[in-house]
Structure 1
Amino acid sequence: MTLTPSRPLRADAARNREALLAAAADEFAEHGADASVADIARRAGVGKGTLFRHFPTKDDLISAIILHRLNGLSEAGERLLDRPDAGGALLEFLTVAGHSRQQRDVSFLHNLGETGTEVAQARARLFEIVHILVDRARDQGVVRADVTGADVVLLMCAPNHVAEYLPDASPDLWRRYLAIIFDGLRPAGAHPLPHPAPTVL
């Protein structure tokens, strides 16, 4: 499937595409896999024809949302790779990951079905960046020696998932749990972990 155009979009087309991605993420978060294409187009302020020109199928739309999110996180991570304070860089990256309103949306969308090679490549790129950020922080002694990049990949979504259990939670509640997670990553007062880290991420 083709998720990105072969030539740059006109400004109005680019705006429409961004509006569709945001509207679709919201609709999928609210209504799940049954989200209506018509409702997505209406929410974005465009016609259904415009939606289908950008995303011929619902699978294309889901993959595009995930790809948009993964690429955004990778770009944020890459900007932090040379930061002298590796611990601060890792915390800033996790804050960016938690701050996006689409965090829950994308986590949900990953469970809707298979995605294409482009998404798999973007996911692999993001995981590589997370591993580098963690390795640098561990080498500087600001992250415990037994924490791996795979551990942090799995923890990235945790602050938002915890906050979802409260129906009227403050929109900033995730920051509390990010702080708890980051304290757990620090070497001070750490106890040995009871199980090896996964090796598949």
Structure 2
Amino acid sequence: MTTRKDIAERNDRALLQAARDVLAEDGAHASVAAIASRAGVGIGSLYRRYKTKEELFQRLSVLSLDHWNEAAERGLADPDPWAGLAAFVRSCVEFGQGSLSPIAGAVEVTREMSAKARHGDELLDELVRRAREAGVLRGDVTAVDISLLIEQLGRSPLVDQLRKQGRDDLLPAAAEARRRLVAIAIDGLRPGSRPLPGSPPGGELFTDRWSSPRQP
């Protein structure tokens, strides 16, 4: 029997996917109406559940953080440090992790969001530590490097363009090409390559983006 909770969770998943797609097209100015329409959810029922656009985006941020943490925990459960790290990166890329970044600074970071983000940082730090100690991750790659890599690979301009054009005939080939590029990028995390240029990026590249005028 389908319960109200089941329906709400299903709608939230649809809204999250729709928000990622609409934000990729429209950025932070994406309208709630466009997201609801893409998700197949009535705007009235959406506003009965979420009073404001900010509340909706906060909820979607929590769902995205949950996916990150669950993927990291699965990676840590793998006894093979490299397999665990690589699976984490692939899972987050396929999910489209980081695609909510256009709303950074536009919504207030709740305590729940902050706590889940800190836990996610701890999990990724542990994945990186394990991989380094096993000698399977290049020593100059940091957790922030991996986070930024996931964000960059989380969207495919080629796939997005073909979807907008309605070129369903080319989508399978584009998806396969994307998987190849992701594999190339992940392989670049292994030792043996030339040193990376510049200094390691700092965590402020994430935290400062999410600070709004209300949060100096």
- Is the TM value for this pair above 0.5? yes
Q: Which residue of 2 is the match for residue 28 of structure 1?
A: 23
Q: How far, CA to CA, are the matches of 2:23 and 2:99 in structure 1?
A: 7
Q: How far, CA to CA, are the matches of 1:21 and 1:158 in structure 2?
A: 18
Tell me by how many angstroms 1:114 deviates. 4.0
Please, which moves more after superposition, 146-155 or 125-134? Answer: 146-155
Q: Please, which of 128, 140, 149 is the counterpart of residue 146 of structure 1?
A: 140
Tell me by how many angstroms 1:130 deviates. 1.2
* Alignment-mate amino acid for residue 149 of structure 2: L
Q: Which residue of 2 is the match for residue 200 of structure 1?
A: 203
Tell me by how many angstroms 1:199 deviates. 4.2
Q: How far, CA to CA, are the matches of 2:147 and 2:85 in structure 1?
A: 12
Is the Cα contact below 8 Å between 1:131 and 1:149 reproduced in 2?
Answer: yes
- Cα distance 1:185–1:55, how it changes in 2: closer, same or farther (>3 A)? same
- Cα deviation 1:154-187 (Å, max 9, x = unaligned): 22222245x4278448134332332232232211
* RMSD of equivalent CA atoms: 2.7
Q: Please, which of 182, 189, 193 is the counterpart of residue 186 of structure 2?
A: 182
Aligned residues: 191
* Alignment-mate amino acid for residue 200 of structure 1: G
- Cα deviation 1:14-63 (Å, max 9, x = unaligned): 33333333333333333333433334334433432311122111111112
Q: Please, which of 110, 121, 128 is the counterpart of residue 122 of structure 2?
A: 128
* Alignment-mate amino acid for residue 199 of structure 2: P
Tell me by how many angstroms 1:119 deviates. 1.8
Q: Which residue of 2 is the match for residue 10 of structure 1?
A: 5
Is the Cα contact below 8 Å between 1:135 and 1:148 reproduced in 2?
Answer: no
Tell me by how many angstroms 1:113 deviates. 4.2
Ranges in structure 2 where 5+ consecutive residues have no aligned partner:
163-170, 205-216
Tell me by how many angstroms 1:134 deviates. 1.1
Q: Which residue of 1 is the match for residue 157 of structure 2?
A: 164
Q: How far, CA to CA, are the matches of 1:21 and 1:147 in structure 2?
A: 30
Is the Cα contact below 8 Å between 2:36 and 2:43 reproduced in 1?
Answer: yes
- Cα distance 1:24–1:187, how it changes in 2: closer, same or farther (>3 A)? closer
Q: Which has the higher contact order (CA 8 A, sep 6+)?
A: 2
Tell me by how many angstroms 1:111 deviates. 5.6
Is the Cα contact below 8 Å between 2:76 and 2:127 reproduced in 1?
Answer: yes
Q: How far, CA to CA, are the matches of 2:19 and 2:186 in structure 1?
A: 32
SS across alignment from 1:143: coil
- Cα deviation 1:75-130 (Å, max 9, x = unaligned): 11102213121001111111101112x44632333364443232222222222211
Q: Which residue of 2 is the match for residue 97 of structure 1?
A: 92
- Aligned residues with identical type, % of pairs: 38
Ranges in structure 1 where 5+ consecutive residues have no aligned partner:
1-7
Is the Cα contact below 8 Å between 1:135 and 1:149 reproduced in 2?
Answer: no
Q: Please, which of 131, 134, 137 is the counterpart of residue 137 of structure 1?
A: 131
Q: Which residue of 2 is the match for residue 5 of structure 1?
A: none
- Cα deviation 1:133-162 (Å, max 9, x = unaligned): 11101110111222222221222222245x
- Cα distance 1:149–1:62, how it changes in 2: closer, same or farther (>3 A)? same
* Alignment-mate amino acid for residue 164 of structure 1: P
